[in-house]
């Protein structure tokens, strides 16, 4: 049994974290320690994010390599996790899809001819397997927004299009 220095309660040894690389126990219990950590993260959120961002930039290659390796080893697990997330958040996905459909409609100019509208439809219909239809200039870009017109479309491999995201 040990007394926590924060809450002053006598607790069992298993309610204390161990000091790194040691057999010693921390002076505050797990509950108090977790509360302190939560308070610290809440008060220093910007500082911590900046620190993580710097670390990521310095170790980007290693991190991405590990992510690819993990994804390769756990493809089925990740696929199942994604399916479960979709099922749990189906309404959000549907809402996002509907917003995108509305953006496409708003970005389709009224002055397009019937031939050009048909060309748009055929472009989607003739999409090669494993490819996405991509807007060269995104419909909702950060600094620029494109139109939903045939000359702003291209076929991109799915992997490349997902990597490109909403960038020009």
Closest CA to 133 of 117, 114, 148: 148
In a domain, 118, yes or no: yes
Domain count, the chain: 2
Q: Judge whether residue 166 has pLDDT over 80.
A: no
In a domain, 83, yes or no: no
In a domain, 145, yes or no: yes
pLDDT tens digits for range 92-146: 999 999 998 998 899 999 999 999 999 999 999 999 999 999 998 888 877 888 8
CA dihedral 159→162→167→168, nearest 10 degrees, is: 40
In a domain, 99, yes or no: no
Task: Identify which has the larger pLDDT, 145 or 48.
Answer: 48
pTM, 2 dp: 0.52
Closest CA to 28 of 5, 1, 9: 5
The domain containing residue 141 runs over which residues? 110-164
pLDDT at 164: 81
* Bridge partners (DSSP) listed for residue 3: 10
Q: Which residues contact 134 (CB under 8 A, 6 or more apart)?
A: 153, 154, 155, 156, 161, 164
In a domain, 80, yes or no: no
In a domain, 90, yes or no: no
Q: Which residues contact 9 (CB under 8 A, 6 or more apart)?
A: 3, 29
């Amino acid at each position: 049994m040990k007394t926590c220095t924060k809450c002053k309660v006598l607790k069992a040894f298993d309610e204390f974290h161990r000091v790194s690389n040691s057999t010693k126990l921390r002076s505050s219990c797990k509950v108090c320690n977790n509360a302190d950590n939560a308070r610290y993260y809440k008060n220093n959120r910007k500082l911590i994010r900046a620190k993580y961002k710097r670390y990521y930039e310095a170790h980007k290659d290693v991190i991405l390599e590990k992510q690819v390796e993990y994804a390769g080893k756990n493809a089925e697990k990740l696929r199942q996790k994604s399916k479960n997330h979709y099922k749990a958040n189906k309404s959000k996905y549907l809402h996002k899809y509907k917003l995108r459909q509305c953006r496409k409609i708003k970005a389709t100019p009224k002055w397009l001819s019937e031939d050009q509208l048909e060309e748009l439809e055929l472009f989607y219909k003739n999409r090669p397997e494993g490819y996405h239809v991509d807007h060269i200039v995104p419909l909702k870009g950060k600094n620029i927004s494109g139109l939903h017109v045939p000359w702003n479309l291209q076929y991109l491999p799915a992997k490349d299009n997902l990597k490109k995201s909403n960038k020009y």
